Structure 1
Amino acid sequence: MSEARILRLNLAGQPIEWIHWQEAVCLYARDLVIWSLGGVVRQVTGGRSRFTGLTSRIQLPSIIACGGSHMAPMRTVPPLTNRALFRRDDYRCLYCGKHFNFLQLSRDHVHPTSRGGRDRWENVVAACKRCNQHKSNFLLSEVDMPLIALPYRPNNAEYLALVNSDRIRGDQMEYLRPQFSRNSRWL
């Protein structure tokens, strides 16, 4: 299993990004962590204080909220990648309904780009290569291939769960899940 990442929130508790433990240590050292939640992901041992002789230790929780005006803003539209798209659609072809692995899936534009469709969350679905080839550049009204679910843009909380689903901790998912959109297939 991969090393767990830390979920960084803004001061209002909105999820921003996943960070590595080294970045979290820097945020603590710069006194930018305002509050935290969750279990300890890692304990970091530092140097010895010349005044007390004690070794410094930081216990890093799985979720931290940071302040500061220079901190990265929350994304308004999550980046569209095949990995996140296929996870959104649960590795299922949204035409035939069967599950496939990553290499057997492709991105299908519901409204084909060759006919003015755009490459955005609300216009793409996971499709097996057979269904994608059969649909070709037809509109849904021109071919008998109904969608089993409608495409949607995940909000930032859901997107963060999608891109880190193989490394997400229970306490992090518990924090993110109530913020998922009502369209989410992850609820």
Structure 2
Amino acid sequence: MDLPTPKLALVGAGIISPPAGQLAPNDSRIPRVLSLDAHGHILNWMHWQDAVCLYVRGAVSWTLGEPCMTVHGGRNRLTGEQSMVELHPIVAARGHANFRSHLPSPALTNPALFARDKQLCLYCGKEYSKHILTRDHVHPISQGGRDTWENVVSSCFRCNSKKGGRTPQQANMPLLAIPYRPSWVEHLILSNRNILADQMAFLKQHLPKHPRGEIYAIQ
């Protein structure tokens, strides 16, 4: 059975309210729920429909934050009362998941890479759309480099072509930041453009203590 389309209640959400009326179920403006296990370990982003299933099954252990979304269901044939579920921005499910198995190293994809590097070419320092950026191997594959987070940066097509199969030192093209492997929490922040205030505050508590990937200089 299809679940009804939610109506958003942006309580303390810190985002722009969408136009009045119903939203499509996959509308990007619909916030996602931050999923935890019962012990508070961060798992992943969860679609609102999956969150509703946890509430209906009584599988929610505890929640954080004020309700951010109200989902209206069907009506009782006898009373005419409409069912309603209020979703919280952070939901912990009952049971205990294997913590390590749910915190994998983020997959190295171009969208994730470009997000890590803030849509900047790390050679010229200019900002580009994801359609213009490319993945550059700092230590070229042709010279034994590997396709890993620590060896790739975002690069515009012009800088990538100019650098070619050389290292930054060989091409006299210094990097503006040191490439790094994002933590799982950093990955979650980078992968969601619609993070609610309560979610961001919670995630920031689990970030690495020392900031990484800072741009040293913009030429």
Whether TM exceeds 0.5 here: the answer is yes
User: TM-score, normalising length from structure 2?
Assistant: 0.75
- Contact 1:33/1:67 (8 A) holds in 2: yes
- Contact 1:74/1:156 (8 A) holds in 2: no
Q: Point out where structure 1 has 5 or more consecutive residues left out of the alignment.
A: none
**What is the CA distance between 1:50 and its match in structure 2?**
8.5
SS in 2 for 1:172: helix
- How far apart, in 2, do the equivalents of 1:147 and 1:12 lie? 41
Partner of residue 29, structure 1: 56
Q: Does 1:45 align with 2:109?
A: no
Decide which of 105, 111, 114 is 2:133's aligned counterpart.
105
SS in 1 for 2:55: helix
**What is the CA distance between 1:113 and its match in structure 2?**
1.7
Q: How does 1:151-162 map to 2 (within 5 A)?
A: 151-162=179-190
| Distance change in 2, residues 1:12/1:84 (3 Å) | same
Q: Does 1:164 align with 2:192?
A: yes
- Contact 2:103/2:184 (8 A) holds in 1: yes
Describe the superposition over 1:24-56 as per-residue Cα deviations: whole angstroms up to 9, x where unpaired: 011122222211112323212345668988544
**What is the CA distance between 1:170 and its match in structure 2?**
1.9
More strand by share: 1
**What is the CA distance between 1:144 and its match in structure 2?**
0.7
Describe the superposition over 1:70-103 as per-residue Cα deviations: whole angstroms up to 9, x where unpaired: 6894232011111111111111111111111111
- Contact 1:152/1:183 (8 A) holds in 2: no
Decide which of 126, 150, 154 is 1:122's aligned counterpart.
150
- How far apart, in 1, do the equivalents of 2:102 and 2:49 lie? 21
Amino acid at match of 2:70: Q
Decide which of 154, 160, 164 is 1:132's aligned counterpart.
160
Partner of residue 18, structure 1: 45
- How far apart, in 2, do the equivalents of 1:77 and 1:169 lie? 24
Q: How does 1:167-182 map to 2 (within 5 A)?
A: 167-181=194-208, 182=210
Partner of residue 62, structure 1: 89
Aligned residue-pair number: 185
Q: Does 1:95 align with 2:123?
A: yes
User: TM-score, normalising length from structure 1?
Assistant: 0.86
SS in 1 for 2:67: strand
